[in-house]
Amino acid sequence: MKTKFTEIMFSKNFKTLEATFDIGSKAEAIVNLAKDRLAEDGEFAQVHAGNILIWMEEMVEQVDKALALQLDNENK
């Protein structure tokens, strides 16, 4: 993820940002697992892993946007 934990540590909305960050971290872990599986499994598994990869990358992207927006709003 683009956003680092240290960026949210001292936020006024730490609990909300931490929960959002955790979602992104877990999605990112699934992305990495799917990438590994793409290289080693059969064709059907590759298609399935490819779909999961796309969905989780989109989730990580949305989490990064939400975190960035919240942090930007706090700095105004």
At 27, which helix (H) or strand (E)? helix 14-40
Q: Which residue has the tokens 């942090």?
A: 71
- How far apart CA 64 and CA 4 sit, in angstroms, is 10
Please say whether the beta carbons of 53 and 34 come within 8 A.
Answer: yes
Write out pLDDT tens, residues 43-53.
777 777 788 88
pTM of the model: 0.69
- The residue ranges of every structural domain in the chain are 14-71
Residue 2: strand, helix, or coil: coil
Nearby residues of 4 by Cβ (< 8 Å), 6 or more positions away = none
Write out pLDDT tens, residues 6-40.
988 888 889 889 989 999 888 888 888 877 777 77
